[in-house]
Amino acid sequence: MPMASADRAPRWAALRPGDDADQVAAALAAVRERALTNAAADIGQLVGVRSVVAESWQRSRSNGVDPQHAAPAGWDDDRDLDSYRRDHPMAAVRTLVQQLLLPDAADGGLVVAISDERGRLLWVDGHAATRNRAATMNFAAGADWNERAVGTNAPGTAIALDHGVAVFGLEHYNNSALGWSCSAAPVHHPATGAILGVIDITGGPAAAAPEVFALVRATAVATESELRLLQLTDPGRLTAAGASSPTRTLHTLGRHRPVLKVGNDERLLTRRHGEILLVLSEHPQGLSGEQLAVQLDEAELDPVTVRAELSRLRRAVPELGLTSRPYRLGRPLDTDAAELRRLLAAGDTARAARRYAGPVLPTSVAPGVVTLRDTLHTMLRTAVLTAGDRAALAAWTETAHGAADLPAWRSLLAGH
């Protein structure tokens, strides 16, 4: 039977050894019907379905995904699909994935798919008849199976959560996928930890069986080992992934609540989430739960509170690929604080002064933020006063925080 989501610990496998797939499907059918036909239902806390699925259903609804609408077909990129696939880092490990998965998958009537870091399918191989049937629901090369496009599915949800996951039949959000099951696991860049793509097995109920899920995860581990070797021999081969990904910037200067900008999308975050992202961006090597707690609260948060907050943040900003053990950002995140530091390092003090909209998260009392805020403010003011740059002094005194800076005014007037 499906796990009640009252147990919030995620269960990544869809089926347990010995589960009767028909019984699991029957139990899911009633839950899914009540949840997805009732717009007022709080499906993120739904009982009768795995928490990882219920929360994905909630994200799918929040993202405006229509369960009736099929996955987008075709290729929506200006680049040629064949060229894109050839240049993508996942092309370097396709042969390995095929060797490890294809023989058994084809014999079992299943297909093996490889996606890019956004969830767009690059290749779908395996049992010919199954591959043709899968194409009728647009599960084919070039189609977008990101969770934001089609809702809950193994490749898309694996990207959203940066974790291997299996999805069984009626756990899918999209009606066109209800007769299918799948197991998927993300593959990461050996140096940055960013998601490069996803390996997936799709087909009937067997595709979500525990042994298939374990096989997919093991293949992802083997693939990452292969990529580590490739990084040593041909590091340039791995630079293509993410080249067209949107930039991700956290804006904190002068803001009581931070704003995360992903491409052209701007998202207002809670102050706590902004504090966590800012601290992690300053520690790219990652932090343990205890280290992060010290950075966030003088009294030190207890581990349970830290884990809960990180879990909420992971759901709020899946684009950043937040990982644990240690906690770190799996994908690049720039900040306006880091940009200001780069401008000062380059000696562009006047531009830095113009960009300075105010102290970093001025109302935050998180120790890690307070230290960064005070350090950055001091660095900028010192540079303005000592650089001998009249344009920098003028820019500084025109700001709210520099308007009452008497030493700066004296230096500016002395330059006349």
Angle between helix axes 367-386 and 289-296 (nearest 10 degrees) is 60
| pLDDT reported for residue 354 | 82
| pLDDT reported for residue 415 | 64
Q: Report yes or no: 35 and 57 within 8 Å, Cβ to Cβ.
A: yes
Instruction: Please give the Cα distance from 229 to 224 (Å, whole number).
Output: 9
CATH homologous superfamily for the domain 21-238:
GAF domain (3.30.450.40)
| pLDDT reported for residue 2 | 39
Q: Report yes or no: 195 and 220 within 8 Å, Cβ to Cβ.
A: no
Amino acid at 19: D
Count CB atoms within 10 A of the CB of residue 393.
27
Q: In which residue ranges of the chain is CATH 3.30.450.40 found?
A: 21-238
Q: Report yes or no: 60 and 198 within 8 Å, Cβ to Cβ.
A: no
Place of tokens 């297909």: 111
Instruction: Please give the Cα distance from 131 to 110 (Å, whole number).
Output: 8
3-class DSSP assignment, residue 258: coil
Block means of pLDDT (10 residues each) for the chain, length 416 residues? 43 90 87 74 73 90 84 65 87 94 93 95 96 94 92 95 95 93 94 89 96 96 92 67 64 94 86 94 87 85 83 83 80 88 84 86 94 89 75 72 69 66
Fold for 266-332, please state it: Arc Repressor Mutant, subunit A (1.10.10)
Report pTM.
0.59
| pLDDT reported for residue 387 | 66
| CA atoms within 13 A of residue 163's CA, in its CB half-sphere | 17
Q: Residue 311 belongs to what H/E stretch?
A: helix 303-316
Q: In which residue ranges of the chain is CATH 1.10.10 found?
A: 266-332
